[in-house]
Amino acid sequence: MAYIVWKDSFNIGVKEMDDQHKLFASYINELYEAMQLGKEADVVAPLLDKLTDYSKTHFAAEEKMLKYNNYPMLKTQIKQHEYFVSELISLKCSYQNKTQTAQNMLLFVKDWLLHHITTEDLKYAELF
């Protein structure tokens, strides 16, 4: 069973962004599935790298779209995006230093992403 089951209520109504958010969820589900199969040691670091890289790509696309549409809360979005990327980098270091568990990372990433989508990203949905 998936850790994140996508719901229509998570969609913001911008197909490109919704598709990218679903891909984020699939990466989180990959980590969860690996943990369930006892393969977390093999996948945590590479998946955190994948999440970090994809976050940068997604956030750049989202910020470009918001800038083009003169979104008044763009600076807030940028700060939140920067925070998330820095946390992913920090989590990877903590995991490698054995001061962070994969379960805690999984919980943080899921909670942050779903909260961000369903509160912050939904605010800009009205533009479209």
What residues does each domain of the chain span? Answer: 12-127
Q: Over the chain, what is the mean pLDDT? A: 92
Over residues 29-49, mean pLDDT: 88
The answer to whether the beta carbons of residues 94 and 100 sit under 8 Å apart is yes
Residue 100's pLDDT is what? 84
CATH number, span 12-127? 1.20.120.50
d(CA 114, CA 6): 10
d(CA 81, CA 83): 5
d(CA 119, CA 9): 11
The answer to whether the beta carbons of residues 14 and 65 sit under 8 Å apart is yes
Return the higher-pLDDT residue of 27 and 126.
Answer: 27
d(CA 90, CA 113): 16
Q: pLDDT tens for residues 59-69? A: 999 999 999 99
